[in-house]
Each structure stands twice: as structure tokens, then as C-alpha cells.
């Protein structure tokens, strides 16, 4: 694999530049310390890069190779060029999965980051028991992902679910949350939000504490109220952190898997008509239930391109919003 271990063009500053023979003359001890200076850094970074080459880079490139084949169970393969991709781009089920993934991502992430911002702002105020409050909003992080999905699936149960019971107090009839697109998306989005809103709030809080206090003092003197200060100072100052959380959420949102799987009784189909099948579920279904490896590999690459594209779009959007304020 091309690790570029020696590819740097930076002239070395610390080590003597004359080469081995010269050093040798000064005795084996000098040579050993020269070797130590020169070689040890590579030894220190090599465990990571060796593992990366085998379990990161190789599978990534091999996915590309597999995606150009009709590759089925038992390793029978024929080269078919881009046929998997053309088939994929015409596959309604794939686009359905993409639509679900993007839909769930949007209705999960937008409210999540907004609430996290407001929550961080509240946590940043002078309050007693700050540590307790901060730990309180982080509690969801300790639950295992399958546990969250199982508990929320019960909360959204049709007949005995707490959510339907609360809605019934307002006269709403029992909702079968799995049945429709909108309801299943909302249910899955709340699972994601419940688990990650507090985490993002703490990340924002950390960044908020680095904003110089005199900015707020100056704004107060100018007569800006807390709300204007929040949108006029806090949010623009948090822009780099917001970009960071948006990118992390994008990767998480586009690879969403455990929640929708558990919501649909552990199956990869995502409901009777695939109303909440995500792209990750589509890949696992094609690759490991239908054993169409080549097709699944093509889907994995398209997923990656979608992540890149959406990270770029989000990045541009967030930058734009910050600027207009």
C-alpha cells in the first residue's frame, strides 16, 4: 500500500545530513543513536499505519474492485464494469433508502443541534449544581444503542406504548408508529436525538466558555438583550464548533443502522414497504442476506459520495448562516 513513509519533502532539521558512513566512523554507539533518531519515529507510527493499511485502506479499495463485478456467494465473479452502478442508480429501492436516510437525518439533526445550542446556553448560566446538571444531560450517552432502540420501540408501542397513552389524553387515537413514513421517521429521529442532544450541548458549552466575556459586556452597554447577544455573539462565535458537530452528525446520520433495525423487529427491510430502511440497512441486506456482494459494494461507494456531498452542502450552509447574522 502507498503509505508515503518517506514521501515528505521537508528537509530534516534535527538529524545530521551526511549519511551513514560518516557516522559509522564515530563508533557503533553514535550509529545506534543516529539510528534511534532516524528510525524510531517510524516505528512509533507504524502500528497505526500497518493496521490502517490492512483493515482500513485495503477494504476501501477492494470495495471499489468488488463493485465492478458481479460477485456472488462462493466467490464466483465476473467483471461487469460499471453495471452495478447503473443498476443501482435506477433502483427504486435504493433511492427509497437514500430518501429515508436523508429524511431521518434532517428531522433528527436540525432540531437536535438547535436544542443543543439552547441547552448549552442555559447550562452556561450561573446556576447551582452545574456538574450535576451537565452529567444529567449526558446520561443518555451511557445507554447502549440497542437498549435505546428497544426502550423507545416500546415507548412507541401501538397498544401499550407510553407515547400513545400520553397522546390519548389529548384525544389522539392510537398511532401505529411503524406503519407510515412520517411516523416511523419521527420515532427513529427521537431515538437519535435523545441520545446525542446532550452530548452536542456539552460540546457547544465548552466552546461557549472560550468566548471572551467583554464581548457580552460591550453588547450590554450598547443595550443588546440576552436574546440578541445569543444570536449576535454566541452563535457566530461558535461557527467552527457548529461545523464540526454538523459534519460528525452527517457521518452518523448517513450510516444510521441500529435504531431503524431494532425499530423494525431486527429485520433489514425497514418495515413492510421499506418505509424506514436506511442505506446502511440496504447494504447489509444486499450483501449479507441476498449475497450480492458486488451490488452492496457499489452501494457502499455511492453512500460515501453522498456523505461527502452532504458534508460539503452542510458546510456551505452553516458558513452562509453565520455570515448573514
Q: How far is the CB of 283 from other proteins (least distance, A)?
A: 7
Which three cell numbers, joined as nine digits, stand for 207? 466552546
Q: How many residues bind other proteins (CB under 8 A)?
A: 117
Q: How far is the CB of 120 from other proteins (least distance, A)?
A: 10
Closest CA to 116 of 253, 241, 295: 241
Would you say 190 and 152 are in contact if contact means Cβ atoms under 8 Å apart? yes
Q: Which of 28, 62, 99, 182 binds other proteins (CB under 8 A)?
A: 62
Q: Which of 97, 187, 246, 296 binds other proteins (CB under 8 A)?
A: 296
Residue 54 or 82: which CB sits closer to other proteins? 54
Calpha distance 286→292 (Å, rounded): 6
Indicate the angle between helix axes 92-123 and 239-254, nearest 10 degrees: 140
Calpha distance 232→234 (Å, rounded): 6
Closest CA to 194 of 244, 246, 124, 137: 137
- Residues between 166 and 185 that touch other proteins (CB under 8 A): none
- Residues between 260 and 279 that touch other proteins (CB under 8 A): 261-262, 265-266
- Residues between 203 and 232 that touch other proteins (CB under 8 A): 203-207, 209-210, 213, 216-217, 219-221, 225-226, 229-230
Q: How far is the CB of 277 from other proteins (least distance, A)?
A: 14
Angle, vertex CA 111, rays to CA 204 and CA 176, nearest 5: 140
Contact region for other proteins (CB under 8 A) — 19-27, 91-99, 172-180, 253-261? 253-261
- Residues between 19 and 48 that touch other proteins (CB under 8 A): 33, 36-38, 40-42, 44-45, 47-48
Residue 48 or 182: which CB sits closer to other proteins? 48
Calpha distance 151→142 (Å, rounded): 14
Q: Which of 18, 21, 25, 126 binds other proteins (CB under 8 A)?
A: 126
Q: How far is the CB of 97 from other proteins (least distance, A)?
A: 14
Positions of E strands within 1-76: 69-71
Calpha distance 239→319 (Å, rounded): 7
Amino acid at each position: 500500500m502507498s503509505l508515503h513513509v518517506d514521501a515528505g519533502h521537508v528537509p530534516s532539521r534535527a538529524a545530521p545530513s551526511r549519511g551513514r558512513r560518516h557516522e559509522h566512523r564515530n563508533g557503533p554507539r553514535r550509529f545506534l543513536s543516529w539510528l534511534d533518531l532516524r528510525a524510531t519515529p517510524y516505528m512509533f507510527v507504524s502500528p497505526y499505519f500497518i493496521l490502517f493499511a490492512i483493515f482500513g485502506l485495503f477494504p476501501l479499495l477492494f470495495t471499489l474492485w468488488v463493485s465492478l463485478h458481479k460477485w456472488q456467494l462462493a466467490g464466483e465473479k465476473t467483471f461487469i464494469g460499471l453495471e452495478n452502478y447503473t443498476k443501482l442508480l435506477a433502483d427504486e429501492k435504493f433511492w427509497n433508502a437514500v430518501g429515508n436516510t436523508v429524511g431521518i437525518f434532517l428531522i433528527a439533526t436540525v432540531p437536535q443541534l438547535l436544542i443543543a445550542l439552547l441547552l448549552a446556553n442555559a447550562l452556561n448560566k450561573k446556576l447551582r449544581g452545574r456538574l450535576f446538571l451537565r452529567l444529567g444531560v449526558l446520561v443518555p450517552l451511557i445507554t447502549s444503542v440497542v437498549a435505546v432502540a428497544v426502550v423507545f420501540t416500546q415507548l412507541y408501542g401501538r397498544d401499550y406504548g407510553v407515547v400513545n397513552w400520553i397522546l390519548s389524553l389529548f384525544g389522539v387515537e392510537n398511532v401505529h408508529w411503524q406503519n407510515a413514513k412520517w411516523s416511523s421517521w419521527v420515532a427513529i429521529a427521537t431515538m437519535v436525538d435523545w441520545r446525542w442532544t446532550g452530548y452536542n450541548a456539552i460540546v457547544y458549552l465548552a466552546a461557549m466558555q472560550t468566548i471572551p466575556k467583554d464581548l457580552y459586556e460591550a453588547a450590554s452597554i450598547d443595550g443588546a438583550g440576552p436574546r440578541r447577544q445569543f444570536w449576535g455573539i454566541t452563535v457566530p462565535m461558535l461557527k467552527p464548533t457548529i461545523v464540526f458537530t454538523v459534519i460528525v452528525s452527517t457521518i452518523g446520520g448517513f450510516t444510521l443502522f441500529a435504531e431503524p433495525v431494532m425499530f423494525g423487529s431486527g429485520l433489514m427491510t425497514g418495515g413492510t414497504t421499506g418505509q424506514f430502511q436506511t442505506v446502511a440497512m440496504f447494504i447489509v441486506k444486499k450483501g449479507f442476506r441476498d449475497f450480492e456482494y458486488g451490488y452492496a459494494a457499489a452501494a457502499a461507494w455511492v453512500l460515501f459520495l453522498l456523505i461527502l456531498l452532504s458534508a460539503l452542502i452542510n458546510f456551505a450552509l452553516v458558513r452562509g448562516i453565520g455570515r448573514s447574522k
